[in-house]
């Protein structure tokens, strides 16, 4: 099935109309944001026009952005969902997570990060269990994007990394002013946007759930921002935004998708197989809701690009998948990510993490590559021969133990389940590593 993407002429008029619709909300949004600051820690608002408002601000600040957003979009083919259909290339995107927190905040753990990456991959690969609830009228339109997200294994200097960064900040709440993306303003600078998808996680003002930079935006701002209360499926994530789908929604924006109603009354998102609808959906709608003469199928309120609660969204369409995948073909604006070295299996050894003990007086172990899909190498600053090695999973269950017989030890982990593990050698502090797929 061939999907022809929206003509350039439509994209231009659609973007301009969105900006017109949203610009009147910008000052109103900022005013409301100020009023809600005291309540932000307790309240997660309904999904809002944050990406929409952010785009309006960026277009005002960057006159060249509109032109870059209107660059021709290649046409791609999306296969029908049949067993004998040829599988397209799976695009694997390196991800770095920047966690900004204040002293005393509930932590966003590595396990929570992993739960978010897992949710992204289920949703973009159409492996989410709730596909069974897709209405019959839309089931043939739902598609596997063949896009996967992987925590970076190498940092910009080529050294091993977990892909998870943390920084303590004095900023109480962040907003759409992008301070969260700037080390100089209390946030954290992103890594090279041509090599990584940057995802910033922090406390957002006014219950704002998240926003994404547009395709063609400034490289130093490129990426996605998510509220700690809507990130992943455990820990700080709170219902009804605790299935990781705020990030799915915002990454959809990062990959060029609009809101399904086109951000205007009975608007159009520029994708042929998403029906028009009057406006955003809220909560968890049921049954057929028909607006804008969209016939017996009704609104596609279960689409990830609507504002429905996490538990009630479950699909991208073939047309949306075509638009996202078009960014990675020759000439596509995200194609450069496919050449990233961030997912190498052989990064340089990581620099030693800061530890309380003084170097030279205690055993400090180093694990690399980290994350790793198959082989974990363990070295130490002091002799380890004869010492006992133990590895436990995130629940504390023992999964591996051995007596070390040489100075550098390699542990095969290919058959282990994905997730977080803790490694300890007698006389050392435990160190963590992530088993990747």
* Residues tagged active-site: 250
Pairing of the two strands 398-403 and 409-412: unpaired
CB 124 within 8 A of CB 255: no
Pairing of the two strands 76-77 and 2-3: antiparallel
CB-count burial class (<10 Å; 0-12, 13-18, 19+) for 434: buried
Q: What distance in Å separates the CA atoms of residue 403 and residue 395, rounded to the nearest whole number?
A: 23
Burial 79-114 (b: 16+ CB within 10 A, else e): beeeeeeeebeebbbbbbbbbbbeeebeebbbbbbb
Best CA proximity match to 146, nearest among 128, 112, 121 = 121
Q: Identify the residue whose tokens are 């363990």.
A: 378
With vertex at residue 139, the alpha carbon angle to CA 135 and CA 142, rounded to the nearest 5 degrees, is 125
Q: What distance in Å separates the CA atoms of residue 179 and residue 371, rounded to the nearest whole number?
A: 29
Cis peptide before 371 (omega within 30 of 0): yes
For the chain, the distance separating the N- and C-terminal CA atoms, rounded to the nearest angstrom, is 31
Q: Identify the residue whose tokens are 């002091």.
A: 382
CB 301 within 8 A of CB 323: no
How many whole angstroms from its chain centre is CA 370?
Answer: 20
Q: What distance in Å separates the CA atoms of residue 264 and residue 70, rounded to the nearest whole number?
A: 19
Best CA proximity match to 305, nearest among 145, 196, 173, 90 = 145
């Amino acid at each position: 099935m061939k999907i022809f993407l929206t003509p350039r002429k439509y994209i231009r008029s659609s973007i301009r109309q969105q900006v017109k619709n949203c610009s009147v909300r910008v000052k109103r949004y900022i005013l409301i944001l100020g009023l809600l600051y005291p309540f932000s820690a307790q309240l997660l608002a309904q999904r809002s026009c944050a990406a929409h408002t952010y785009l309006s601000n960026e277009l005002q600040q960057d006159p060249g952005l509109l032109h870059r957003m209107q660059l021709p979009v290649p046409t791609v083919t999306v296969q029908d969902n049949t067993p004998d259909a040829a599988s397209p290339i799976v695009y694997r995107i390196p991800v770095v997570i920047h966690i900004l927190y204040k002293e005393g905040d509930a932590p966003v753990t590595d396990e929570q990060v992993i739960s978010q990456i897992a949710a992204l991959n289920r949703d973009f690969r159409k492996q989410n269990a709730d596909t069974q609830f897709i209405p019959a009228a839309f089931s043939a339109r739902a598609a596997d994007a063949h896009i996967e997200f992987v925590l970076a294994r190498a940092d910009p200097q080529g050294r091993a990394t977990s892909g998870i960064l943390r920084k303590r900040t004095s900023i109480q709440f962040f907003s759409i002013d992008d301070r969260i993306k700037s080390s100089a303003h209390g946030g954290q600078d992103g890594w090279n946007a041509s090599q990584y998808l940057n995802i910033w996680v922090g406390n957002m003002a006014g219950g704002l759930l998240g926003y994404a930079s547009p395709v063609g935006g400034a490289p130093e701002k490129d990426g996605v921002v998510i509220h700690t209360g809507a990130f992943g499926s455990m820990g700080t994530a709170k219902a009804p935004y605790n299935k990781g789908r705020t990030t799915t929604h915002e990454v959809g924006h990062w990959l060029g998708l609009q809101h399904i109603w086109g951000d205007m009354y009975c608007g159009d998102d520029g994708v042929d197989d998403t029906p028009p609808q009057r406006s955003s959906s809220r909560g968890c709608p049921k049954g057929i809701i028909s607006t804008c003469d969209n016939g017996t199928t009704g609104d596609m309120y279960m689409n990830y690009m609507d504002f429905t609660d996490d538990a009630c969204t479950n699909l991208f369409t073939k047309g949306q998948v075509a638009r996202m995948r078009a960014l990675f073909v020759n000439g596509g604006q995200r194609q450069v990510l496919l050449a990233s070295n961030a997912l190498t299996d052989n990064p340089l050894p990581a620099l030693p993490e800061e530890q309380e003990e003084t170097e030279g007086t205690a055993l400090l172990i180093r694990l690399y590559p980290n994350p790793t899909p198959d082989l974990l190498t363990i070295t130490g600053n002091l002799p380890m021969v004869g010492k006992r090695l133990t590895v436990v999973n995130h629940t504390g269950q023992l999964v591996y133990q051995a007596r070390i017989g040489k100075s550098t030890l390699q542990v095969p982990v290919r058959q282990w389940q994905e997730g977080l593990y803790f490694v300890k050698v007698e006389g050392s502090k435990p160190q963590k590593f992530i088993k990747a797929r």
